[in-house]
C-alpha cells in the first residue's frame, strides 16, 4: 500500500534561512547535523562518484566531467568525455564506477547522445578507463531506442551485487493522448520509460524477462515508467528501488520487479501541468504495479541512496531521496519491501540533483540551479550525539 508524502508528519524542526551560517546546527529525529560546502562553482552538477584515493568525479550537464581534489574543484575538465547534446534536460548525466574500479579503472557515463541532426538525442551509456585525470578508450555500451522532446532522459546508473548494470530511460515527454495503452512507454519494442539490465560490457543476460520475445528490446527489465531519475540497490537484500518524476503531482518510489509494468501513462496520481486536467485512466489497474510511496504534491525526485556508513548510525539502512522543485532531502525507512517517509531534511537550500554517500561515510549533495548559475557540492556532517 503506498503512503502519500503529504500525509506523513515531518518529525523535526529543520533548516532555517538559506543564508544561515555553515555552523548552524540543524535538528532531525535522530541526529543533529550541519551542512558544509565541499566545493563551489559547478554548473548544473548531475552526479558524483567517489574514487578510492579521495577524489570526487562530478558530471556537469553542459558536458564536462570535473574533479574535486582535496576540497578544491580542479580548473581543467577531464579529457575524453563523449559529445553530448546539451539542450533542454539533456547533457552529461550520471557517473558510476565499475565495482572493480580499483583494478580495472572503468568509469561509466550516461548522456544524451546525438542522433541525426544536432537537436535530436537519446539516452546512451559509455564506459572508459580513467587514469591520470583523463578518460581513454571511451565506447558506447548502450544506446536507447527512443525519440522525443529534449527531456526525460532518465539516465541513472547502478550496479547490483552481481555486477550487472541497471540503466533508467525516460519516456521522452511523448504526449499521453488517445489510447493510453498505445503509448511508447507501454510498448517493449522500444526503450521509452524503461529500466534496463545488462552486463558490464552492455551485453544482455540470458535471464532478462523479454529475451527471445519477438520484437522486444532484450535489455528491458521493467517498463511503464515516466522519468526515473533515482536508482539504488538495497545492499541488505539486493532489491532494486527507483524514484520517478510524476507530472503535476504523483512522484513515485517503486520497488523494481523483473518484467513488471509500472503503468505510465495508464495509471498514476498526477495531472496535467497548469490545467490540472486528468492524464490517467485510473490510479490502479490489474497487471500494473502500485508505487510504494507517492509524493503529492511532487518534490521532483532525483538522486537516491541507501546509507550504509557509520557517521550517522541512526540513519543506517535508510533510503535518501533528493528533491529538485521540493528543495529537500527525504529520509525513508525500509522494512523488507515496504517503505515509509519519516522526515524531510535540508529544506530550502536549493534544488538537490543527486545524493551520495562518500567513502568517508558522510552524505554529499549535488545542488542544481535551473538557470545554470554556479552551485556547490554540499556535505552533511553530524554534530554531537543523541
Per DSSP, 193 falls in state T
Per the rule left: phi > 0, alpha: psi between -120 and 50, beta: everything else, 80 is left
| Cell numbers representing residue 42 in the block | 559547478
Helical H runs in the chain?
101-104
Residue 12 burial (C-beta neighbours within 10 Å; 0-12, 13-18, 19+): middle
Q: Identify whether 265 is preceded by a cis peptide bond (ω within 30 of 0).
A: yes
Element (H, E) at 304: strand 301-306
244-249-251 Cα angle (round to 5): 20
SS3 assignment, position 37? strand
Environment class of residue 195 by beta-carbon count within 10 Å: exposed (0-12), middle (13-18) or buried (19+)?
buried
8-state DSSP, 79: B
Longest alpha-carbon distance in the chain: 59
Helix (H) or strand (E) holding 114: strand 106-114
Q: Is 152 labeled as catalytic in the residue annotation? A: yes
Q: What is residue 102's DSSP assignment?
A: H
Q: Catalytic residue among 152, 183, 191, 192, which?
A: 152
| Neighbouring C-beta atoms of residue 249, cutoff 10 Å | 18
Give the cell for residue 309.
556508513
The answer for residues whose C-beta is within 8 angstroms of residue 132's C-beta and 6 or more apart is none
- Please list the active-site residues: 152
Amino acid at each position: 500500500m503506498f503512503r502519500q508524502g503529504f500525509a506523513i508528519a515531518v518529525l523535526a524542526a529543520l533548516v532555517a534561512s538559506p543564508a544561515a551560517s555553515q555552523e548552524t546546527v540543524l535538528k532531525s529525529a535522530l541526529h543533529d547535523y550541519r551542512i558544509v560546502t565541499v566545493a563551489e562553482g559547478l554548473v548544473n552538477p548531475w552526479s558524483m562518484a567517489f574514487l578510492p584515493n579521495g577524489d570526487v568525479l562530478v558530471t556537469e550537464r553542459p558536458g564536462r566531467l570535473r574533479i574535486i581534489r582535496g576540497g578544491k574543484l580542479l580548473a581543467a575538465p577531464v579529457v575524453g568525455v563523449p559529445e553530448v547534446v546539451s539542450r533542454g534536460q539533456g547533457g552529461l548525466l550520471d557517473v558510476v564506477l565499475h565495482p572493480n574500479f580499483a583494478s580495472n579503472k572503468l568509469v561509466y557515463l550516461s548522456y544524451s547522445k546525438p542522433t541525426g541532426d544536432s537537436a535530436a538525442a537519446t539516452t546512451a551509456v559509455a564506459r572508459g578507463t580513467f587514469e591520470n585525470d583523463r578518460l581513454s578508450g571511451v565506447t558506447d555500451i548502450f544506446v536507447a531506442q527512443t525519440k522525443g522532446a529534449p527531456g526525460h532522459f532518465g539516465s541513472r546508473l547502478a550496479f547490483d551485487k552481481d555486477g550487472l548494470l541497471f540503466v533508467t530511460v525516460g519516456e521522452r515527454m511523448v504526449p499521453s493522448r488517445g489510447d493510453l495503452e498505445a503509448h511508447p512507454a507501454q510498448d517493449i519494442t522500444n526503450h521509452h520509460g524503461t529500466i534496463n539490465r545488462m552486463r558490464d560490457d552492455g551485453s544482455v543476460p540470458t535471464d532478462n524477462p523479454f529475451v527471445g520475445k519477438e520484437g522486444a528490446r532484450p535489455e528491458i527489465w521493467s517498463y511503464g515508467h515516466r522519468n526515473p531519475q533515482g536508482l539504488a540497490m538495497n545492499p541488505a537484500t539486493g532489491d532494486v528501488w527507483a524514484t520517478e518524476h510524476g507530472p503535476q503531482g504523483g512522484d513515485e518510489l517503486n520497488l523494481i520487479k523483473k518484467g513488471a509494468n509500472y503503468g505510465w501513462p495508464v495509471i498514476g496520481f498526477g495531472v496535467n501541468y497548469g490545467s490540472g486536467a486528468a492524464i490517467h485512466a485510473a490510479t490502479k489497474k490489474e497487471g500494473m504495479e502500485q508505487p510504494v510511496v507517492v509524493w503529492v504534491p511532487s518534490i521532483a525526485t532525483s538522486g537516491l541512496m541507501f546509507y550504509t556508513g557509520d557517521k550517522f548510525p541512526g540513519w543506517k539502512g535508510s533510503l535518501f531521496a533528493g528533491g529538485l522543485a521540493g528543495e529537500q532531502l527525504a529520509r525513508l525507512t525500509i522494512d523488507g519491501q515496504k517503505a515509509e517517509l519519516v522526515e524531510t531534511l535540508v529544506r530550502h537550500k536549493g534544488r538537490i540533483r543527486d545524493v551520495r554517500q562518500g567513502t568517508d561515510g558522510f552524505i554529499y549533495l549535488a545542488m542544481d540551479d535551473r538557470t545554470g548559475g554556479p552551485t556547490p557540492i554540499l556535505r552533511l556532517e553530524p554534530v554531537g550525539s543523541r
